């Protein structure tokens, strides 16, 4: 049913008259777009992690198409000003927000953003900066890619083929995100059970020197993405405070500027976590729930929706998904 509705909306977008009506209905919104990595996909790597990438050529086409369709690009601070009445409300705009702090955001993304004058935000998970800490999703990929079989859940899994490795990756990922001890600790136990050293992530993430260079760039804005990328739905209030404040303080210490905006790791949070980060000074918080931001969404400053941008996704796809979300919420109401 969901796919049928999306196809119906996309079919309407292919008709000039219908597309005009739909775009007019959505003209007053801001669309926050989430990215992680910018680069060419490596066919030798596992798809679950490679799917976080968009190619520079695709991203450039997306930006050009958005401008052609009348969109402007806002910084997160401009969005905050618009929602609080401190700045003008943009008619049709996009906000680009990149999570985690990957180095290709600088090497591949910055030249592209400079070429088109597009502001962007990078939300930093501070434990990853410099590459000494390997994110569990890359450590897990390394383990599964290097072994024909692994021990997990009290049994041995035969994973000789790439599809088998990808399927097991997704199964472990699901359980890791639900684990009481947190995903990082859960996967670390898996390393121990399989006598695996995940090494370092040198070169994968920005260095602090590169972060400081971005901080001084007029198009860039730095945000807080937590210290160790914790799921804030499953930790105590004290852990939320620690996760938020460690990252905030480290970014301020390294750059001289306090980050004002936050993005929840995995887009997940509890009501208590929202309250904590709000009390601790975050002006906005990004989620991964799809949807557009409208001018009456000032109360949603700490739970702003975002669409994940995937390779091949068009501006019309974004509009169709937004229309679908709006329609679904309207039917529920």
Query: Which pair of structure tokens corresponds to residue 270?
Result: 């509890």
pLDDT, one tens digit per residue, over 237-277 is 999 999 999 999 999 999 999 999 999 999 999 999 999 99
Distance between CA atoms of residues 105 and 39, nearest Å: 9
pLDDT at 31 > cutoff 80 = yes
**Contact at 8 Å (CB) between 206 and 99?**
no
The pLDDT of 24-29, averaged and rounded, is 62
pLDDT at 18 > cutoff 90 = no
pLDDT, one tens digit per residue, over 194-233 is 999 999 999 999 999 999 999 999 999 999 999 999 999 9
- The domain limits of the chain are 29-132+205-311, 136-193
The pLDDT of 174-191, averaged and rounded, is 95
pLDDT at 5 > cutoff 50 = no
pLDDT, one tens digit per residue, over 228-248 is 999 999 999 999 999 999 999
Place domain 29-132+205-311 in its CATH homologous superfamily: Glycoside hydrolase/deacetylase (3.20.20.370)
pLDDT, one tens digit per residue, over 303-327 is 999 999 999 999 999 999 998 888 8
- Judge if pTM exceeds 0.95: no
């Amino acid at each position: 049913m969901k796919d049928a509705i999306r196809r119906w909306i996309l079919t309407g977008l292919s008709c000039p008259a219908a597309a005009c009506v739909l775009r007019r209905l959505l003209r007053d919104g801001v669309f926050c777009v989430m990215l992680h990595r910018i680069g060419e996909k490596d066919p030798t790597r596992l798809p679950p992690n490679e799917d976080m990438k968009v190619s520079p050529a695709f991203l450039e086409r997306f930006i050009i198409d958005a401008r052609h369709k009348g969109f402007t690009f806002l910084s997160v601070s401009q969005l905050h000003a618009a929602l609080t009445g401190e700045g003008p409300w943009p008619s049709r705009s996009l906000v680009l927000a990149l999570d985690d702090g990957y180095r290709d955001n600088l090497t591949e993304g910055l030249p592209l953003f400079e070429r088109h004058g597009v502001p962007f935000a990078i939300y930093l998970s501070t434990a990853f900066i410099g590459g000494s800490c390997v994110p569990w999703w890359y450590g897990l990929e390394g383990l599964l890619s290097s072994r024909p079989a692994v021990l997990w859940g009290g049994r041995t899994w035969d994973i000789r083929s790439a599809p088998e490795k990808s399927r097991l990756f997704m199964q472990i990922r699901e359980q890791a995100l639900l684990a009481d001890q947190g995903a990082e600790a859960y996967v670390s136990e898996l390393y121990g059970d399989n006598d695996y050293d995940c090494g370092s992530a040198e070169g994968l993430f920005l260095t602090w020197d590169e972060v400081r260079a971005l901080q001084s760039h007029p198009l860039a804005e730095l945000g807080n993405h937590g210290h160790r990328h914790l799921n804030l739905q499953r930790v105590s209030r004290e852990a939320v405070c620690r996760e938020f404040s460690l990252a905030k303080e480290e970014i301020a210490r390294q750059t001289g500027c306090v980050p004002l905006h936050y993005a929840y790791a995995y887009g997940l949070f509890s009501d208590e976590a929202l309250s904590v980060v709000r009390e601790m000074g975050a002006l906005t918080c990004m989620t991964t729930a799809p949807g557009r931001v409208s001018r009456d969404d000032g109360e949603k400053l700490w739970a702003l929706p975002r669409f994940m941008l995937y390779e091949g996704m068009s501006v019309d796809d974004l509009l169709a998904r937004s229309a679908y979300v709006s329609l679904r919420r309207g039917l529920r109401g």
